[in-house]
Structures are given as C-alpha cells and as structure tokens.
Amino acid sequence: DSFNLDSLPEEDPENGETASSKESSVFASKPNRPPIQSASQKYAPLAWSAYFDEEDDVRIPGSENVFHVYRAGTDGPVVLCLHGGGYSGLSFALSAKIIKEKARVLALDLRGHGKSFTENDLDLSAETLCNDVLNVLNILYGDSPPAIVIVGHSMGGSVAVHICAKKALPTLCGLVVVDVVEGTAMASLIHMQKILSNRMQHFASVEKAIEWSVKGGSLRNVESARVSIPGNLVYDDSKKCYTHRAKLEETEQYWKGWYEGLSEKFLSSPVPKLLLLAGTDRLDRTLTIGQMQGKFQMVVVRHTGHAIQ
C-alpha cells in the first residue's frame, strides 16, 4: 500500500523514458500460472521408493510374526526409527531421505501397524514392542550389530526409552525422543478414547484419507502425508471403504505402561540424549530438572505439530 502506481511519471535522465513506461514494459510479459491441482492430484499417494532404498519383511523364527522394514543408506551408523501409535515406518520417509546421506536408516512397522502382521496385533505392551524390535535387530545384524541411534516418535519414543533401559544393545550410541513426555502423556490418556472415537473412521479413497490427515492437523506436511498415510490404512471389503490399520482403541490396557516412569528411564539412559518437542510447555518436573542439570539436549521445533519428523 506504500506505492502508488498511478502517481505522476518521472522522467529518466538517461534516455528520456518515464518511470511508468519502464514499469509497464517490466510487467508486459507475465509468467504463466501453474495449473491448479484438483484435490485428487494434490493428495495423490507417493511411492516409498523415492525416500527409502528398499523394503523387506523380517520373519521371526518359531512364530507367525512378520515385521516390515524400510531401509536407506549404505554407510555409517544405523538410525533406527520407531513410529508413534497409528503411524507407520513411512512417517520417517522425509527424514530418511536426508539422513541416508550420512548414515543408514532402518524404519520399522511396529506390531499392529503398517505392513507388519503378528499372532496378536493387539498386544502393544511396552515389553512386547521392545522384544519385537530387539528380535528384528538380532535377525538383521546378529551378534555384531553396527552403531545404533534410536529415534522414537510418541509411542515409539516410549519403546525407544524402554529398549535403552534394558541395556540390551551394546552398540547403542544415541537416543532421540520425539514429542513425548511422561507428564503430558499420562495426563492425556483419559481423553484418548474420545479423541480416537471422534476421528473420521471411513474413507472413500486413499486420497480422501490423506486430505483428512492434512486438514485435520495430524500431519501438516502434505508430502509426508502422501507417502505415509497409505500405509496406515486397510481396505474394508464389507463396507467398501478404507479404515485405520491400527486398532488403537482396543489396546487401552497397555497405554499407561508406555509412559509410566518414562522420564526417569530417559534420564538414566547412559547414551547422549536429544528430546525434540513441539512446544516448551510439554516438559514435566523431572525432565525440567534434568534439562537444567544438562543431562540431555532439548530442541523445540515450532509450527510442526506432534509429528515433528
């Protein structure tokens, strides 16, 4: 508003042209506008292969359990990515594309999520989830695992902390917890069933599910939603629509076990620790004291929502 293009023209002393005639020549050739995308184009699924190098199924001997993994990178330590409840290993796709330039990435579909299938997909106890991850690592790397950095988001963050507390990985060299704090998580559990029941349950297409996840705020990055949301869905033949793969509402008995005592376990983990938070108000008392004592690094990543990665 500070410029008035209708003001009197000023003469250019160099060649006698007026400023207004120069302006008209500058704007004479307008660039073509990009074509307007339809909703089906904007929210069309993206292939995992643009972010990871390979996918694989890891079968656990002596059971019917099969865990799906995505891998990227060829050198360096292994960054083990554990997703949150209702997500999948593909929620780390955009991160993997960057991390694989300096390290290897292993993103796992946890029990009851993504393309992993087990004898009991509803057993999401912290103990079971930890054992699942350790079994997969043992099959992939045997008795000589590489240096491992565990990155866990939300529920996956609690699993990561519990694994560290077990001291079962001799080559563990780092822990990154993404937006989960014991105090906040425990306080929110009483609202979880209502939150889960209020979310949209059925989708006419994968594109509609992606659009809902973005507009509903569970994922703010459209590209991330396009690559990760399809892995969170299953097709219901009886209802002729897509629905959520993970039946979180049926696993309430395990929720408290994910987060109880989490802060103390996090602080006592004997490796370098990083806590990524979406807001500074999420620290509980134990972590606040630990942070003041310099026991871990904390980074607040604003304007991302819960799924920071």
Residue of 88, 91, 95, 154 with catalytic role: 154
Structure tokens at 308: 């920071």
Residue of 53, 123, 218, 306 with catalytic role: 306
Residue of 88, 179, 224, 263 with catalytic role: 179
User: Is 306 among the residues known to form the active site?
Assistant: yes
Q: How far apart are CA 76 and CA 74, in angstroms?
A: 7
Report in angstroms the alpha-carbon separations of 66 from 32, 84, 125: 50, 19, 17
Task: Please list, in sequence order, all residues whose beta carbon lies within 8 angstroms of the beta carbon of residue 7, skipping any fewer than 6 positions away.
Answer: none
Contact between residue 269 and residue 161 where contact means Cβ atoms under 8 Å apart: yes
Report in angstroms the alpha-carbon separations of 185 from 6, 9, 115, 164: 59, 64, 27, 19
Report in angstroms the alpha-carbon separations of 79 from 112, 146, 221, 279, 289: 22, 10, 22, 24, 28
Q: State the amino acid at position 290 in one-letter form.
A: G
CB neighbours (10 Å) of residue 283?
Answer: 20
Q: How far apart are CA 217 and CA 231, in angstroms?
A: 18
Task: Annotate 194-217 with DSSP letters as a single string.
Answer: HHHHHS---BSSHHHHHHHHHHTT
Active site residues: 154, 179, 306
